[in-house]
């Protein structure tokens, strides 16, 4: 098995094609094809993490998405955020989420990384 680092977009596309072929074969993990799939899958995953990182969504957008997915109304958000007017303030970006709100919103299945938001750059 010739394993090479993925250093270019062409290498990436070739590795994706190989992984796709191997997935279609559905090899057992302890076979040569299974090991090859695991190795190349790991390489592809590392390349994608470096070149195509997935940025967490804006916290308010994450809340609105969950509301849309679960058919939740502003009234349904009162137990998680507070009185109706506060829900509107949060959803309109006029009031930040508090730690208490975030802890309650976690019970809706919204990932903490989405609720906390993107990290701010550290001043050197």
The two three-digit tokens of residue 81, written as one number: 């955020």
Nearest one of 110, 87, 85 to 97, comparing CA atoms: 87
Instruction: Pick 21 or 4 by higher pLDDT.
Output: 21
Report the chain's mean pLDDT, rounded to a whole number: 92
Average pLDDT in the 28-50 region?
93
Give the predicted TM-score (pTM) of the model: 0.61
Among candidate residues 50, 51, 35, 45, the one with its CA nearest the CA of residue 15: 45
The structure tokens listed for 71 are: 């058919």
């Amino acid at each position: 098995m010739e394993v090479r680092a993925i250093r270019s977009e062409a290498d990436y596309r070739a590795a994706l094609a190989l992984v796709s072929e191997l997935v279609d074969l559905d090899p057992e993990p302890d076979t040569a094809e299974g090991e090859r799939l695991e190795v190349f899958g790991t390489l592809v995953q590392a390349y994608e993490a470096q070149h195509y990182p997935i940025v967490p969504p804006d916290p308010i957008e994450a809340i609105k998405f969950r509301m849309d997915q679960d058919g939740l109304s502003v009234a349904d958000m009162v137990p998680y955020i507070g009185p109706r007017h506060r829900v509107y303030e949060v959803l309109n970006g006029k009031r930040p989420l508090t730690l208490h709100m975030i802890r309650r919103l976690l019970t809706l299945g919204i990932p903490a990384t989405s609720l906390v938001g993107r990290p701010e750059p550290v001043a050197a």
